[in-house]
Amino acid sequence: MQYTPRKYYIQKIRGFINTNLIKVIVGQRRVGKSFILFQLMDYIEENFSANIIYINKENFEFKNLTDAEKLVEYVESKRSIEDKNYLFIDEIQEIEDFQIAIRHFALFPDFDIYCTGSNATILSGELATLLSGRYVEINISPLTYGEFLNFNRLEDSNEAIRNYILWGGLPFIKNLGSNSMLIEEYLRNIRSTIVLKDIVQRNQIRNVNYLENLIFYLAQQTGSLISAKKISDYLKSQRIDMSPQLVLNYIDCLCKAFLINRVKRYDLKGKRTFEISEKFYFEDWGLMNAVWGFDQFDISKTIDNVVFSYLQVNDYEVQIGKLSSKEVDFVASKNGSKMYVQVCYLLSSQDVIDREFGNLLEIRDNYPKYVVSMDEFAPKNIQGVQHLHLREFLLKEF
């Protein structure tokens, strides 16, 4: 099978091959999990004496594998006694009580197990209980800007970054060329599929209209501090009676389906995390634009979302920084180190420059500090705070 390699993830997973840890690959629908499996299978076949057992629950061929018992029977029928068995199961959450079968095969040293899922509940409940300490989770994200250029065979340019900001990072977009109408329709369909299959059906949500209004509001408020009560009050003003608790329940469902991410605030002076008022970002900002409307494309909040996503891909824990009455867009922590990032569209006046750089200059430590924008003529460095164009930031290795 032909594909564009995503070397970052293969390198990340490669160290776990032939260990007794179950590799659980999770992420939003259509983010490229299946192709990660294909790349892993090719790598394993090239480097080991392997019996590959591959099951794709989206393929009609496997429609009868509905529960743990049938799964065990099928895998046993494909098991090799000569070579090591590498078991790959795509969209494993579609198999009832799959965790029982996975625990069974994990007992045998001749099995190495890999599975994917489009819902975070794959790692909750009984799976976590039965396999505690015996699995590793690898989260697959939308394409980075560098991957977007590679997938679409583009050079880094203002047009390329604009399309990336507008369309997002779902890999299949490369097959649609530069046809905006096709891409936008594709993104709307993917958003609808995620909502119906991974949220409504899985969580048995009855009032889909309430859910859709909540998603629209979160798209409208991407990157803004909001609380469940604020959302509830807004929806009530639109004659939608949705309690703060129901808002929280629905948001939890959206997060588990990898449609959105919630980000908490962190007090840089008091060194504590706030429990109320959070920011929300979409896993793929192209889907956010599909909700909000491409004709109302808001580049400022989308840039915010893009920067957040790139920090996450680089394995940073991301929080919103609070510094007295001021705010730092992102406090990114990893391996005992930190990075501070301010994001804006353009540094259009001295007041804007003073605000964006000034917030970071008030932080009295020596960790890296960046202002990221689309401005090509802004100062590059003010008292140690670096300015990077969005394209530079997204191609920088952290």
Residue 323 or 39, more confident: 39
- Fold classification of 145-395 (topology level): Arc Repressor Mutant, subunit A (1.10.10)
Helix axes 145-152, 158-167, angle to 10 degrees: 110
State the amino acid at position 218 in one-letter form: L
What's the CA gap between 334 and 341, in Å, rounded? 14
> Is the pLDDT at 124 greater than 70, yes or no?
no
Distance set, CA 249 to CA 113, 245, 336, 350 (Å)? 32, 6, 33, 43
What's the CA gap between 298 and 302, in Å, rounded? 6
> Is the pLDDT at 149 greater than 90, yes or no?
yes
CB 87 within 8 A of CB 113: yes
Q: What is the pLDDT of residue 127?
A: 66
Q: What is the pLDDT of residue 125?
A: 61
Structure-block tokens of residue 188: 């709307």
> Is the pLDDT at 235 greater than 70, yes or no?
yes
What is the residue extent of each domain of the chain?
A: 7-139, 145-395
Q: Taking residues 261-276, what's their average pLDDT?
A: 84
Closest CA to 365 of 388, 338, 332: 338
Q: What is the pLDDT of residue 293?
A: 79
- Percentage, residues of the chain above pLDDT 90: 83
Helices H, strands E: what count in the chain? 16, 15
Segment 3-59, tens digit of pLDDT: 899 999 999 999 999 999 999 999 999 999 999 999 999 999 999 999 999 999 989
Q: What is the pTM of this model?
A: 0.94
CB 37 within 8 A of CB 88: yes
Starting at the earlier edge strand, list the strands of the sheet with 135-139: 50-56, 84-90, 111-117, 22-26, 135-139
10 Å Cβ neighbour count for 300?
15
Name the one residue in this structure whose structure tokens are 């891409």. Answer: 183
State the amino acid at position 203 in one-letter form: N
pLDDT band at 271 (very low <50, low <70, confident <90, very high): confident
CB 254 within 8 A of CB 281: no
> Is the pLDDT at 349 greater than 70, yes or no?
yes
Name the one residue in this structure whose structure tokens are 């999990």. Answer: 33
Strands of 239-336 (E only): list them: 260-263, 265-267, 272-273, 279-282, 317-323, 326-334
pLDDT band at 121 (very low <50, low <70, confident <90, very high): confident
Structure-block tokens of residue 174: 């490369």
> Is the pLDDT at 295 greater than 70, yes or no?
no
Burial class (CB in 10 A: 0-12, 13-18, 19+), 383: exposed
Architecture of the structural domain at 7-139: 3-Layer(aba) Sandwich (3.40)
Helix (H) or strand (E) holding 367: none
CB 108 within 8 A of CB 136: no
Name the one residue in this structure whose structure tokens are 């408020």. Answer: 221
pLDDT band at 123 (very low <50, low <70, confident <90, very high): low
Structure-block tokens of residue 202: 């899985």
* SS3 assignment, position 53: strand
Closest CA to 198 of 267, 122, 291, 115: 122
Q: What is the pLDDT of residue 296?
A: 62
Q: What is the pLDDT of residue 126?
A: 57
Segment 200-221, tens digit of pLDDT: 998 999 899 999 999 999 999 9
DSSP string, 335-365: TTEEEEEEE-S---SHHHHHHHHHHHHT--S
Distance set, CA 215 to CA 82, 231, 254, 259 (Å)? 51, 11, 8, 9
* SS3 assignment, position 241: coil
For the chain, what is the mean pLDDT? 93
CB 338 within 8 A of CB 321: no
Q: What is the pLDDT of residue 297?
A: 66
What's the CA gap between 15 and 36, in Å, rounded? 15
10 Å Cβ neighbour count for 320?
21
